Amino acid sequence: MLAPRSLRKRSSRKQSVLRRVAILASVLCLLAAVGVAWLLIDNHSPDASKKPQRAESPPELSAWLADWEWEAGLSDLRTAAAGMSGLQVFAAYFDKEDHLTFTTEFQDAYGQIREAAETDGVEHLSLTVVNDILYEDGTESQKDADLIGRLTADSGSRGRHVEEIVNALRSYPFDGVELDYEKIPSSDWDGMSLLISELYERLAPLGKSLRVVLEPGIPFDKVKLPSGPTYVVMAYNLHGGFSGPGPKADLSFIRKLGAKMDSLPGEPYLALAAGGFDWLDSSGKVTSLTERQAEELASLSEASPGRDSESGSLHFRYEDDDGNKHTVWYADEETLALWAETARSIGYSHVAIWRLGGIGEESLGWMKSVGASS
């Protein structure tokens, strides 16, 4: 039986309203779902929360001082110290028995380095241990990959190495330790990660810090690095003794490296290299230069350095007294500032400088201003 016309009209209007409500509810649900999905995707993207949080950190600057050029390094330190929060002393190596050893230069210089750091207000002084083997005949094996395998082979070898480092800190009371172990075979990274973790756990109760240097080619997303230590990534070696002429780093290299670093724990440092290289055209022989040496070469040869737009680096060509042609690339104050600003723009405000000794006056002034502005 059909309902009266008036009832059918009211029923029809009611159903129409219900349909509109249902459609509106569906649209709202869809918009909400899209919004949630967007948030989830955004929070897991490489440009999400990590970078802004790191970018908000005040700038920090540290630098290395090498034992083989400690006097020139101390001279630079006295100028730039006001901007530095830390100094890493590149001084601990290994002997043929895989034990730590220190050069005579370091042993003679340690007291003056310590005094200068304290006098100039450097808050943190660290001992850098590097995987170079020094032999009694004066030869050496730099960045010895096999050494890493022996040091990290098992809990016993790692434990002995950890205790030897702790004993070194008793002989030379640094505030912390830095491991600069390079050319690590992929097969040794599990052991290396365990060494880092075990050393950190041993040092922490003693009030000592741990910092670890990482090469730019390491797959940070695959290597399991423990939280706790500070990590510093080398943002250089784009060109050098292994290549033809070019800058130590450029802006594209720094940005790509920064994206890789997002998987690292904590607030990593980006290491920038002062100075540059001199390439001999005829043989390809490469000579390392400090900034001051590069400036002197340019002045003596009456060359006018040009600035590369992709890296901010200076470069020039000259002819030596024997008629040999050379190409020089190097970093000055403007270069270092540009590299550091590029790093900061992608979320990395902590910078380390390799190395003190022969840095130009304007670059030292820039270093002094970095930490002072924080």
Phi, psi of 332 (to 5 degrees): -120, -165
Q: What pLDDT, on the 0 to 100 scale, is given for residue 74?
A: 97
Are the beta carbons of 100 and 92 closer than 8 angstroms? yes
Q: What pLDDT, on the 0 to 100 scale, is given for residue 366?
A: 98
Q: What pLDDT, on the 0 to 100 scale, is given for residue 26?
A: 53
d(CA 80, CA 38): 46
Q: Which two tokens stand for residue 300?
A: 């003596």
Q: Where are the domains of the chain?
A: 58-274+332-372
H/E element holding 88?
strand 86-94
d(CA 364, CA 374): 17
- What is the radius of gyration, based on Cα positions, of the chain? 28
* Sign of the torsion formed by the C-alpha atoms of 218, 227, 230 and 311: positive
Q: What pLDDT, on the 0 to 100 scale, is given for residue 219?
A: 97
Contacts of 358 (CB under 8 A, 6+ apart): 69, 72, 76, 274, 275, 290, 291, 292, 293
Q: What is the CATH number of domain 58-274+332-372?
A: 3.20.20.80
For 126-151, b/e burial (b = at least 16 CB within 10 A) is bbbbbbbbbeeeeeeeebbeebbbeb
Q: What pLDDT, on the 0 to 100 scale, is given for residue 54?
A: 54
Specify the 3-state DSSP secondary structure of 34: helix
Q: What pLDDT, on the 0 to 100 scale, is given for residue 56?
A: 62
Per-residue pLDDT of the chain in tens (374 residues, 90 and over written 9)? 333 333 333 444 444 444 554 544 554 444 444 443 443 334 444 343 444 455 568 999 999 999 999 999 999 999 999 999 999 999 999 999 999 999 999 999 999 999 999 999 999 999 999 999 999 999 999 999 999 999 999 999 999 999 999 999 999 999 999 999 999 999 999 999 999 999 999 999 999 999 999 999 999 999 999 999 999 999 999 999 999 999 999 999 999 999 999 999 999 999 999 999 999 999 999 999 999 999 999 999 999 999 999 999 999 999 999 999 999 999 999 999 999 999 999 999 999 999 999 999 999 999 999 977 66
Q: What pLDDT, on the 0 to 100 scale, is given for residue 9?
A: 38
d(CA 316, CA 267): 37
Q: What pLDDT, on the 0 to 100 scale, is given for residue 57?
A: 84
